[in-house]
């Protein structure tokens, strides 16, 4: 009877309305019938609203300045990380322009030799330690949990700590520079020049301690990346379905593990040589300056790959999206990344060919150096095949990737050339080397990074960058880059040495230097165009929607910008190019609590659901711990007693960090202790009572 049916509907609607504010009633309501599928959908929608509000309350940052300081959300920290690293990139870039102005004509007296020494040291140090490594980790901190389908990065408080350490280390170095105590012994601070005898004062000490800061930061972030990669993936994302960018960051994180402690140790020994009279690098007392070079380059060469491998991850991601097809040779690319990670540790001595090593050693390292071209070559051919078999769309992120191909291949070629000892000896310490590594680093890392900025900008901000201005940015940067650095190859072959503040007119280097300076100005304009584009788009860019590029990875399955909890329901994964391969109504994860920061832990190989663990709340303790550590690090530049004395506040803040909040802990008794270990739990309670 139609009348009765109508009444029923009215009743349901009334119940639904009543249930709107009460999830329990809603569930009861939804369980009460199974006939009307449309109502099911409606009920789901209302349940979603409740879930959304609960999750936002649980995962959102606390309001106000305090909440801002205490945030442990990977997106908040990641954005901070990216902005800070970009700030250091601008600072390092300004120094580069100053150097180019000084070198634009012979016998220029714009900058004196002492300041010039500080500037080139600060430029290299800033770009390597304060920009290139941190910015790659920063992007990973933001993107990885989204790509892997979880709510936050593993060890979120450690993440906040890592950011603060990096910030304080960078700021310390720059304040020292502004106060004319900037390091002046080159970014690799060779002894004996950087030792106590030839670099009195505190300049090199600040450099050495900056290393400690940034290494602490890089190491903790790597720990988070590795744990997130192995344990926090969406159910079904087995190892062979993990996006290539995540693989790239995993390899990077492992390389950080073995490279960074070495340089931290080396710089600690340098600091001790300078402050408490140890003799690690002092040949008069049995020390050896070459020990520094070995330790530094055992870090320094892997460092290049620590910067470049994330770049290749960007390239694989962007290329696949805009070629509209899965990456060609996924397994080959991943294995190339891993083998690059291994071979990268066997090349460091090629930085030391000019130190007179045994012939056998030189031959070995020549072989290893040339060998690393193999995995890079495999990747390049896989990328070409992806392009070949796809339907490429030349959006601005894609343009940066194509620019990367050209620049990186040139840089790779000059790298292979220098792997040969005779060529290396000829061009050692000339502008040829400067040209080579800027081709590799700007080509291999900065161009993919700008591609990544253009690619993920809509995800982070919710708005698209202006496409036309993006293309303009690319072309200005591409032309500017080549104008700046290509002439340096020729200058180097003509014998122009690195790290000179000026040169004589009769050497004939003036014209090419002027050209390089003009290119430098153009490159700067390109970066400015990007900044203008970003600022304009932030206010007035077109709304991006969840997935503007129709890409395959999980970060595009949530809104732009993503909510504090990333996904309303954690997704499950059935294929490698998730969003392309699987239907939209793929099962989602339910049963995680939304009133505490519960996340799903999955198994290492096939990502089956395994545990529900609770992440800690936002906290001010990581900031306090990093302040205490900062005080100890800076203090130790001035007196060794800062180390034992400074340990105390660090211990106190770390204890505060780990100490659980009683109320919170009591609200969440671990149910399975009772369930699975009933007797033990009773005994435990008795003991406590």
Partner 1 sequence: MSARQTVDVSGLPTFAFGHRQLTWWCTLSLILMEGGMFVVLFGAYFFLRTPVPQWPPGVGYPQPFWGTVNLVLILLSCVPNYFQKRAAESLDLRGVRIWIAVLIVFALVATAIRFVEFGYLNCRWDQNAYGSAVWVIMGTHLLHLITDALDSIVLLALMLVGPVEGKRFVDVSENALYWYFVVGLWVPTYVVVYWVPRWI
Binding positions for partner 1, 298-357, rule CB under 8 A: 298
Angle, vertex CA 544, rays to CA 540 and CA 548, nearest 5: 145
Question: Residue 360 interacts with partner 1 (CB under 8 A)?
Answer: no
Among residues 113, 200, 261, 508, the one that binds partner 1 under rule CB under 8 A: 261
Question: Residue 662 interacts with partner 1 (CB under 8 A)?
Answer: yes
Binding positions for partner 1, 608-647, rule CB under 8 A: 609-614
Q: How far is the CB of 247 from partner 1 (least distance, A)?
A: 17
Binding positions for partner 1, 172-231, rule CB under 8 A: 219, 222-223, 226-227, 230-231
Q: How far apart are CA 133 and CA 39, in angstroms?
A: 52
Question: Residue 361 interacts with partner 1 (CB under 8 A)?
Answer: no
Q: How far is CA 445 from CA 232, 345, 456, 460, in A?
A: 27, 19, 16, 20
Q: How far is the CB of 39 from partner 1 (least distance, A)?
A: 9
Q: Mark residue 153 as left, alpha or beta (left: phi above 0; alpha: psi -120 to 50; beta: remaining).
A: beta
Question: Residue 235 interacts with partner 1 (CB under 8 A)?
Answer: yes
Q: How far is the CB of 671 from partner 1 (least distance, A)?
A: 7
Question: Residue 462 interacts with partner 1 (CB under 8 A)?
Answer: no
Other CB atoms within 10 A of residue 685 CB: 11
Q: How far apart are CA 409 and CA 444, in angstroms?
A: 9
Asked whether 204 and 249 are in contact (CB, 8 A), the reply is no
Q: How far apart are CA 658 and CA 370, in angstroms?
A: 48
Q: How far apart are CA 612 and CA 609, in angstroms?
A: 8
Binding positions for partner 1, 117-176, rule CB under 8 A: 154-155, 158
Q: How far is the CB of 264 from partner 1 (least distance, A)?
A: 8
Among residues 97, 272, 373, 525, the one that binds partner 1 under rule CB under 8 A: 272
Question: Residue 22 interacts with partner 1 (CB under 8 A)?
Answer: no
Q: Which is nearer to partner 1, 43 or 491 (CB)?
A: 43
Question: Residue 50 interacts with partner 1 (CB under 8 A)?
Answer: no
HEC letters along 445-470: HHHHHHHHHHHHHHHHHCECCCHHHH
Q: Which is nearer to partner 1, 331 or 687 (CB)?
A: 687
Q: How far apart are CA 337 and CA 4, in angstroms?
A: 67
Question: Residue 24 interacts with partner 1 (CB under 8 A)?
Answer: no
Q: What is the dihedral of CA 647, 649, 652, 656, to 10 degrees?
A: -130
Return the closest-CA partner of residue 553 out of 317, 311, 322: 317
Q: Which stretch binds partner 1 (CB under 8 A): 64-72, 80-88, 285-293, 548-556?
A: 285-293
Q: How far is the CB of 662 from partner 1 (least distance, A)?
A: 5
Return the closest-CA partner of residue 398 out of 487, 490, 467: 467
Asked whether 233 and 146 are in contact (CB, 8 A), the reply is no
Q: Which is nearer to partner 1, 413 or 613 (CB)?
A: 613
Question: Residue 585 interacts with partner 1 (CB under 8 A)?
Answer: yes
Phi then psi dihedrals of residue 370, to 5 deg: -75, -30
Question: Residue 670 interacts with partner 1 (CB under 8 A)?
Answer: yes
| Cα torsion 606, 607, 609, 611: sign | positive
What number of chain residues touch partner 1 (CB under 8 A)? 89
Q: Which stretch binds partner 1 (CB under 8 A): 8-16, 414-422, 520-528, 591-599?
A: 591-599
Binding positions for partner 1, 509-548, rule CB under 8 A: none
* Residue 564-583 contact track with partner 1, rule CB under 8 A, x = bound: -----x--x-----------
Q: Which is nearer to partner 1, 34 or 107 (CB)?
A: 34
Q: Which is nearer to partner 1, 188 or 455 (CB)?
A: 188
Asked whether 195 and 282 are in contact (CB, 8 A), the reply is yes
Q: How far apart are CA 214 and CA 210, in angstroms?
A: 6
Question: Residue 604 interacts with partner 1 (CB under 8 A)?
Answer: yes
Q: How far apart are CA 397 and CA 315, in angstroms?
A: 9
Among residues 289, 586, 642, 645, the one that binds partner 1 under rule CB under 8 A: 586
Among residues 1, 3, 41, 64, the one that binds partner 1 under rule CB under 8 A: 41
Q: How far is the CB of 153 from partner 1 (least distance, A)?
A: 11
Question: Residue 682 interacts with partner 1 (CB under 8 A)?
Answer: no
């Amino acid at each position: 009877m139609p009348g009765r049916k109508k009444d029923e509907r009215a009743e349901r609607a009334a119940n639904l309305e009543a249930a709107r504010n009460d999830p329990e009633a809603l569930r009861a309501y939804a369980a009460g019938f199974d006939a009307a599928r449309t109502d099911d959908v409606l009920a789901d929608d209302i349940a979603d609203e409740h879930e959304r509000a609960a999750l936002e309350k649980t995962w959102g940052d606390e309001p106000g300045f305090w909440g801002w300081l205490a945030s442990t959300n990977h997106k908040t920290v990641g954005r901070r990380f990216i902005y800070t690293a970009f700030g250091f990139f601008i600072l390092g870039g300004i120094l580069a322009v100053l150097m180019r102005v000084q070198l634009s004509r012979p016998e220029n007296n714009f900058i004196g030799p002492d300041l010039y020494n500080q500037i080139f040291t600060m430029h290299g140090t800033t770009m390597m330690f304060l920009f290139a490594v941190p910015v790659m980790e920063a992007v990973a901190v933001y993107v990885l949990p989204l790509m892997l389908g979880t709510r936050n990065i593993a060890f979120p408080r450690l993440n906040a700590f890592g950011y603060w350490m990096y910030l304080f280390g960078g700021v310390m170095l720059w304040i020292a520079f502004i106060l004319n105590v900037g390091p002046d012994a080159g970014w690799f601070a060779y002894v004996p020049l950087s030792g106590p005898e030839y670099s009195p004062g505190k300049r090199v000490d600040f450099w050495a301690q900056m290393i400690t800061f940034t290494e602490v930061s890089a190491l903790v972030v790597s720990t988070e990346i590795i744990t997130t990669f192995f344990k926090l993936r969406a159910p079904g994302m087995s190892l062979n379905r993990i996006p290539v960018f995540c693989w790239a960051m995993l390899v990077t994180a492992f390389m950080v593990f073995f490279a960074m402690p070495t340089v931290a140790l080396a710089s600690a020994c340098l600091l001790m040589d300078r402050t408490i009279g140890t003799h690690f690098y002092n040949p008069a007392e049995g020390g050896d300056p070459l020990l520094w070079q070995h330790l530094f380059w055992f870090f320094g060469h892997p460092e290049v790959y620590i910067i470049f491998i994330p770049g290749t991850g960007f390239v694989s991601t962007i290329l696949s999206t805009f070629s509209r097809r899965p990456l060609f040779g996924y397994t080959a690319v991943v294995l190339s990344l891993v083998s690059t990670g291994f071979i990268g540790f066997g090349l460091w001595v090629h930085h030391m060919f000019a130190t007179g090593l045994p012939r056998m050693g030189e031959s070995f390292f020549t072989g290893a150096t040339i060998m690393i071209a193999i995995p890079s070559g495999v990747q390049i051919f896989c990328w070409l095949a992806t392009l070949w078999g796809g339907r490429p769309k030349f959006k601005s992120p894609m343009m940066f990737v194509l620019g990367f191909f050209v620049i990186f291949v040139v840089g790779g070629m000059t790298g292979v050339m220098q792997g040969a000892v005779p060529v290396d000896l000829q061009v050692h310490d000339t502008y040829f080397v400067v040209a080579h590594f800027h081709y590799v680093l700007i080509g291999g890392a900065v161009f993919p990074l700008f591609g990544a900025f253009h690619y993920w900008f809509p995800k982070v901000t919710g708005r698209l960058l202006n496409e036309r201005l993006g293309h303009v940015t690319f072309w200005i940067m591409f032309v500017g880059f080549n104008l700046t650095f290509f002439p340096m190859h020729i200058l180097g072959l003509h014998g122009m040495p690195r790290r000179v503040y000026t040169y004589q007119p009769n050497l004939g280097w003036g014209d090419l230097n002027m050209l390089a300076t003009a290119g430098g100005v153009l490159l700067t304009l390109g970066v400015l165009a990007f900044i203008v584009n970003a600022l304009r788009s932030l206010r007035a860019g077109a709304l991006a929607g969840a997935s503007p590029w129709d890409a395959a990875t999980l970060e595009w399955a949530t809104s732009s910008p993503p909510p504090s909890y990333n996904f309303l329901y954690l997704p499950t994964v059935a294929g490698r190019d998730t969003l392309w391969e699987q239907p939209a109504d793929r099962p989602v994860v339910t049963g995680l609590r939304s009133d505490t920061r519960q996340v799903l832990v999955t198994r290492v190989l096939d990502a089956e659901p395994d545990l529900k663990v609770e992440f800690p709340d936002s906290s001010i303790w990581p900031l306090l711990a990093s302040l205490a550590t900062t005080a100890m690090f800076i203090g130790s530049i001035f007196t060794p007693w800062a180390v034992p004395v400074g340990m105390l506040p660090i211990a106190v803040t770390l204890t505060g960090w780990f100490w659980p909040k009683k109320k919170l802990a009591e609200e969440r008794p671990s149910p399975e202790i009772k369930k699975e270990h009933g007797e033990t739990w009773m005994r435990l309670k008795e003991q406590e009572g």
